Structure 1
Amino acid sequence: MVRTSNMLTTILNVLTLLLGFLLITGAIWTSVHPGSATLCEKTFAKPYLFTGIFLVVLAVLGIVGACYKVNAILYIYSGVLFVMIVGLLVFAIFGLVVTNKRIGKAVSNQGYKEYKFGDYSKWLQKHVVNEKNWDNIKSCLVDSRICMAIAKAKTMEEFYHNHLTPLESGCCKPPEDCNYLFVNNTYWVPPKTGPASDELDCKSWSNDQKQLCFDCGSCKVGVLNNMRHLWRGFAIMNFSILVFVIVIYSISCCAIRNNQEEPQPCHI
C-alpha cells in the first residue's frame, strides 16, 4: 500500500501539472491570436510559457518518483525544490532591499505627492525604467488607459483636489513646476510666456492622448512607485509560495525514505 507521503506528493504534483498546462495554454493562445492581445500581454507570453514548461517537467518528476518509487528521480525532484527554496529566500531579501527606499514630497494643498528618482534605489532605476524596457512599459500604460480613469474636473482647483496616484500624477499631467494651464483632465497648455521651468519633462508633455507625459521622467518615477508596491505584494506571495514549497520538499523527503521499500506503483 502506498504511503501517505507518496500519495500527497502525487496529488500536489497533479495540481502543479494542471497549473503548468494552464500557463502554457495561455501563452500559446496569446501567440496564436496576436491581434486580440495587447503588446503588454504579449510581453508576458514567454515568461508564462517557460514557467509552465518548468512546472510541467517538475510535476512529472514528482509524480513518477512518488508513484513508482524511483528514488533517483525523487532525488532530482527534491534537489530542484531545494534550489527553489534558496532562490525564493534570496529573492525575498533582495526585494526588500531594493524597494526599501522611498520618501515622496507632498505638493502643497494638492491631493497627491510628487516623487523624484532619488526616492528609489539605483537598481530599480537602472533595470526597470531603462531605454530598453521603457517602450514596452509605455505601451502597457497606453493600453491600460490609466489617464482615462481620472475623475472628471471642470476647473484646475477641482482637478488638484483629486487624490491622484503617483502613476496618474506622473504620466497624465505636466509636472507642477511647469505651470501649465488646465483645459481638461488630460489637456494642458503652456502659459504665453512659455513653461516656467527648463525641465525636460515640460518639453516632453504632449496633448496627444497616446503621448501625454508617458516619456517624462515623472512618469518613470510613477512606474517605480508602482513597482515598489508590486514587489511588496510579491513579497507576501513569495512567502506563501516558500511555505508551500517547503511543505512539498518535506513530504518528498518522506517519500524518499518510503521508497527504500520494494517499489510498488500507485493508481491515480
Structure 2
Amino acid sequence: MLNFLTFLLSIPILGGGIWLSTRANNTDCLRFLQWPLIVIGVAIMVVSLAGFAGACYRNTFLMYLYLWVMFFIIVLLIGFVIFAYVVTDKGSGRPVPNRAYEDYYLPDYSGWLKDRVVSSNYWRDISSCIHDSGVCRKSDRVVGGFPESADMYYRRKLSPIESGCCKPPTECGFTYVNETTWNPTGLVVNNRDCIRWSNDQEQLCYNCNSCKAGVLASLRKSWRKVSVINIVVLIILVIAYVVACAAFRNNRRMDNDEPYGETRMEKARPNWLRTLRF
C-alpha cells in the first residue's frame, strides 16, 4: 500500500510537468523548464514499482535500492521547489488606472530566469513561438459584427502575454482601434517600447521589453501553481519514506530471525531476573 501510494503521488508530479510542457508549447514558450519535473515524476513511478515488487516478494535488495533512490528523489524535488521559488521570486504586473488588466515591465524582474528569457538566442525562439501560437490573433473579439469598443476592451482581464505582447504599454498613450491596432498620439514617453510597437500583425510588440516581462509573469504564475502541488506531494513523500524506513528495518529483522516486541524484551532480560520476579 505504501509503494502504491508513492506510485499515485508520481502522477500529479508527472501531470504538472506535462501541463508545463503544454503551456510551453502554447503560451509560455520556454520549453526546457518542464523536463526536470517530468524526469522526477517518471523516476518516482519506476522506483515505486520496484519498491512494490520488493515488498511483495520481500526482496531486501529492491527495498534497499528503493530507499536510496527515493532519498535522492526527495532531495531533487526539494531542490526543484526551492529553485522554482527563487527564480520566480520577483516581479508582478503593475495596476493601470481605469483598466482591468495590468502592464508588465522588465526592470521588475531579475535573476537567472530573466537572463534566459532576454538573451537573444532564447528570445528569438520564444517570440517566434508566441507569434505561431496566435495568442494575439485569438484575443480579437467581435460584438455585433464590429470590433469591441475601447471601453469594453479596457474592462477585459488580459493574460500577461496578451497585455505585454499584443498591445503597447498604456503609458504610451496610443489610441485604441482594435485589440492589435493602436495609433500613436505623439505623446513623448521615456519608454522605448512605444517606438518598438508596430501595427504590422507580424511584429506588434513581440520585440518589446513588455512582451519579455509578460512571458516572465506567465512563467511565474505557471511555476507557482505547480510548486504548490509539489510541496504537498513532497510532504506526503517524506512521511511515506519514514514509514518505508521502519518497514525496511522490520523486514531485515524478519530475514535475520531477530526477535522484536515483547519476545525481544524477554530474551534481553536475564534468566535470574525472571526467577526473582516469580
TM-score after normalising by structure 1? 0.70
Structure 1 equivalent of residue 272 of structure 2:
none
1:149 is aligned, of 125, 139, 146, to 139
Does the CA contact (< 8 Å) of 1:111 and 1:163 recur in 2?
Answer: yes
The CA distance in 1 between the partners of 2:4 and 2:152, in whole Å, is 57
Structure 2 equivalent of residue 72 of structure 1:
61
1:26-78 CA distance string (max 9 Å, x none) = 9xxx9xxxxxx998279479938745653454234323322222223322221
The CA distance in 2 between the partners of 1:60 and 1:126, in whole Å, is 39
Matched, 1:188 2:178: no
State the 1:124 CA deviation.
Answer: 2.6
The 10-residue stretch of structure 1 (149-158 or 65-74) with the greater mean CA deviation from structure 2:
149-158
> What does 1:1-268 correspond to in 2, within 5 Å?
8-12=1-5, 15=8, 40=25, 43=31, 47=35, 50=39, 54-102=43-91, 104-147=93-136, 148-149=138-139, 151-152=141-142, 154-191=148-185, 196-197=188-189, 199-260=191-252, 261-262=254-255
Does the CA contact (< 8 Å) of 1:151 and 1:162 recur in 2?
Answer: no
The root-mean-square deviation of aligned C-alpha atoms, in Å, is: 3.8
The 10-residue stretch of structure 1 (152-161 or 179-188) with the greater mean CA deviation from structure 2:
152-161
Does the CA contact (< 8 Å) of 2:87 and 2:113 recur in 1?
Answer: yes
Q: Percent of aligned pairs with the same residue?
A: 37
User: What stretches of structure 1 of length at least 5 have no aligned partner?
Assistant: 1-7, 31-36, 264-268
1:197-221 CA distance string (max 9 Å, x none) = 4744234333344532122110111
CA distance 1:11–1:126, shift in 2 (3 Å): same
CA distance 1:172–1:45, shift in 2 (3 Å): closer
The CA distance in 1 between the partners of 2:212 and 2:96, in whole Å, is 18
The 10-residue stretch of structure 1 (117-126 or 136-145) with the greater mean CA deviation from structure 2:
136-145
The CA distance in 2 between the partners of 1:204 and 1:102, in whole Å, is 22
Aligned length: 241
Bigger relative CO (Cα 8 Å, ≥ 6 apart):
1
